[in-house]
Each structure stands twice: as C-alpha cells, then as structure tokens.
Structure 1
Amino acid sequence: MPAQTKEKNLEEDIESFLCSPEGGFFKCDDRHSLLYVEDGTYQMVGGGYMEHRDRALDAATLVNFIQTTQPKAWDRFERMCNSDSTAKFAKVFNDAVDRLGMVAVLKHGFKHRGIPFKVVFFKPESGLNESAADRYAKNVCRCIRQFHFAETGNQTIDMVLDVNGIPLVSIELKDQFTGQDVENAMRQWREDRDPRCRCLKFNTRMVAFFAVDLENVYMTTKLEGAKTFFLPFNQGSAGAGNDGGAGNP
C-alpha cells in the first residue's frame, strides 16, 4: 500500500470517529459553509473558507450562527449596513480579534457600536435554562481535512477543527508505516508553516497545533519557527495498550 494511502487511512479513521454521533462533529471541507435550516438540520452550501481566503474565516457559517442564536443583535447590525452585511461582519470580527485576541473573543464575545455578539456558546452548568441549552446545541463544530491555510497556494493542513466557521485546532498526522512519526510532524510545523499567516498567527485564529502519529501526540499553542516548543499531550505508549515513552497524564 502506498505511503500516502496509509496516512490517508489514519485521517479517515480519526474523521470517522469525530463525525460519529459520539464525536459530535460535522464532516465538511474548506469549500463549503454549513447553514442551519430548521428543526436541528443543516445544509451544506458553496463558499466556505476558499471563497475569501484572506479572511481566514468561513464568514457565511459564522453569520448564520449569529442569525440563528442572536437574531435581535443581527437585525440591529444589518440595519447599520447599506450592503453586504456578511462581508462587513467578517471585518468587524477580524477587528475585534486584532484588538482583543482570539481567546478573549471566544470566551467573552465582543461589542460593535454597542451591539454584543457571542461567537460560541459554552455548555451551561445545568439544563434548567432551556434557551442557554438551545444556543449551545446550535454551535457548529466541523472536521475539515486538507485545509488550505494560506491566502494563496496549495499548502494544506491534514485536519482542522473549527467552531462556527472559526478555525481553532489544527492537526498534522504521520503514520510510522510511511517511515515518518510525530517528530516529522513537529518539524513540519516548525519549518514549513509561516507563523505570520493569519490562520496560524498567535491568538489570532488557531489556538492549538497538534503533531500526531500512531503512538504519540504533542501540541503547542504558539508557532515560532525553529523555536516552537511542543508538550506531550498523551500518556505515552510502548505499543498499543502499553504505557511508556514521553507522556503527560
């Protein structure tokens, strides 16, 4: 079996779990947006990240989430716009992230001319508040393979997990059967990924970068070229089912 096919199988296995009922993610690609229709159903439409790669954002999916969960705030915002409210919201979002940082915007949302927006809703502490539980259920979590992360070119990240059209977690996968392992994945992050890119820039989009092989997982929250420091994210393994090696319980 060709090496690239084996690595593709690893991607497929991870995607299969994440996009199962237990995993809770939607399967998607970077050429489509995912829009809420009704009664808990979603429709995939053209566009996605590839429509405006300079945004590093699937604006249609994010705007649809705002419309669905915060209709009054969206109506107020739309009345301020003479045209193309989606493009203008993408700019407002990017301005807020540049000003406050991605983590703060995720945790607290942001305001634009007095209008508050939340870009994600976290799980409520109890199910007593039905509206909070409903907003939480409308978060759109997607698994995207071969994600084009730069404004131009065909470089891709093996797998990206996004929330409501915002790319947040990226994963480079290696398979020992191809002659590569987690060290090669970490080297790829250090040497082949430009940390100045909006998608990869610290606290601007992605908040975690993973290097994964069949036995080990490492992660970092900040790409700094050759200085990038990875921490173990697993218990370590000396083979399937056995503890051993570098780990972080």
Structure 2
Amino acid sequence: MSQHKEIVFENEVTKLLKANGYIEGNSKNYNKELALYPDDLISYIKNTSPKAYEKMSKMYGADVDNAICKRVAKQMDMHGSLHFLRNEVKDRGAKFKLCQFKPELHNPDTQTKYDANILRVVRQLYYSTNNKNSIDLVLFLNGIPIVTIELKTDFTQAVEVAKSQYKTDRLPKGEHLLEFKKRTLVHFAVSSDEVWMTTKLAGANFKGQVMKINV
C-alpha cells in the first residue's frame, strides 16, 4: 500500500513538471559512467553551437558524440557542473555552451538558445555502476543532472525516511551524480507537507546544514 501511494505521489509531481516544460525520460538512456543524459546534451550542442559541432566532427569523425560527452564529463569532474553551466567548454579550439540562462535584454539569438534548453525528468533513475539503487526523480538541463528528489508520503513514511536514505543509501563516494561539485546542484527530500534540501551529501558523517523549506 505504501509503495502504491508513493507511486501516485510520484505521478502527480511528474505530471506537474511536464505541465511546466519538462519531458519525461527513461533511466535506460542515462549514462551511468559519465553521469549524463547524452541524447539531450548532444541535441542542445547541435542546435545552439552547430559550427563547433561541425569542427569537432572533423576531429573525431563518427565517434564525435561519444567524444563530446567524455570531454564534458571530464571537465565537470574537475571543475563541477555549475562552472560549465555558466561558462563555455573548450575542446581543441572548439567552444560551446551547455545551457543558456534567460536573457535580461532582448536579443533574438540569445532568446533562441534559451528556448532550445531541454528540461527532462527521469523517474526511478538507476544511477550507479556499483549497486542497483534508484532515485525517485532526477531533473536534467540539457543532459546534465542538476536536481535529485526522494519522495515520501506522510500517510506512509515521514520525510525523515527520505533524509535517512540520502545519508545511508545514497553515498556520494565514487558516484559522479552525487559527489559534491561534480554534477547535481541540490538534493531534495520531499513529502506532501515538508521539503528539505541540501547541496552536499556526505553519508552518515554529514555535519552540514540541511534546510527545511516551508510549503
């Protein structure tokens, strides 16, 4: 019964996200080794940086998409996703952006790139090469995971259970999705009455501040 109620909650949250521009994806299309959703990453680069993509195609040939994904993953492993959401990725003279923030001033080219952003939600994301754990919801921007969400219903399990999952079962070591300053920017524990968040997971030894958001 508890699992059924959580699925209903998950359905409702996903429905709300889709009504606000998100596309539902599939865990099978997620690259666990790179911690990316490659189809969206490549699609965004092709649409917004066609000259850079063409240049890299000449360098890498038929393996260009895989080479780009590996390059992006390597750079994020070193400098974090936030850095490259704000700044260009460079590869052998080619430069490309991974997203476009909403322009403050009217600029048709910038607006087109902003409109090209791909928002995706994946339910039950199997993220690890080390275990079969899954996260209830993961949100992506142009193939880059930026938010994880664990859902609980107050009728069955308190939000404390979701927080405990992050501390005991969602261990960040060796997981690019969960490691601090690698991919995901924020992690949410959500119930129908409470929302808690943190930007850093550190297992059971976590000493930082977990913030409660009033809803």
Q: TM-score, normalised by structure 2?
A: 0.94
Residues 214-239 of structure 1: CA deviation (Å, up to 9, x unaligned): 11111111111113345334225xxx
For the residues of structure 1 that align with 2:212 and 2:62, how far apart are their CA atoms?
A: 46
Task: Check conservation: 2:38, 2:69, Cα contact below 8 A.
Answer: yes
Residue in 1 that maps onto 2:15: 16
Residue in 2 that maps onto 1:3: 2
User: How many Å apart are 1:74 and its aligned residue?
Assistant: 0.6
Residues 135-189 of structure 1: CA deviation (Å, up to 9, x unaligned): 10110001111011102442100001001111110000011111x1111111100
For the residues of structure 2 that align with 1:230 and 1:210, how far apart are their CA atoms?
A: 13
Higher relative contact order (CA 8 A, sep 6+): 2
For the residues of structure 1 that align with 2:45 and 2:212, how far apart are their CA atoms?
A: 33
Give the residue type in structure 2 aligned to 1:97.
M
3-state secondary structure, aligned to 1:90:
helix
The 5 A counterparts of 1:221-240 are 221-228=199-206, 229-235=208-214
User: How many Å apart are 1:83 and its aligned residue?
Assistant: 3.3
Residue in 1 that maps onto 2:119: 141
Residues 38-81 of structure 1: CA deviation (Å, up to 9, x unaligned): xxxxxxxxxx21xx421111222201110011100111111111
Residue in 2 that maps onto 1:193: 170
Identity %: 34
2:22 aligned with 1:25: yes
Task: Check conservation: 2:35, 2:73, Cα contact below 8 A.
Answer: no
Question: Which has a greater percent of helix?
Answer: 2
Gaps of 5+ in 2: none
2:159 aligned with 1:182: yes
Q: TM-score, normalised by structure 1?
A: 0.81
2:182 aligned with 1:207: no
Task: Check conservation: 1:219, 1:230, Cα contact below 8 A.
Answer: no
Aligned length: 213
Gaps of 5+ in 1: 32-47, 237-249
For the residues of structure 2 that align with 1:185 and 1:59, how far apart are their CA atoms?
A: 28
Task: Check conservation: 2:198, 2:211, Cα contact below 8 A.
Answer: no
Query: Which residue, 61, 82, 105 being the options, matches 2:40?
Result: 61
For the residues of structure 1 that align with 2:138 and 2:209, how far apart are their CA atoms?
A: 18
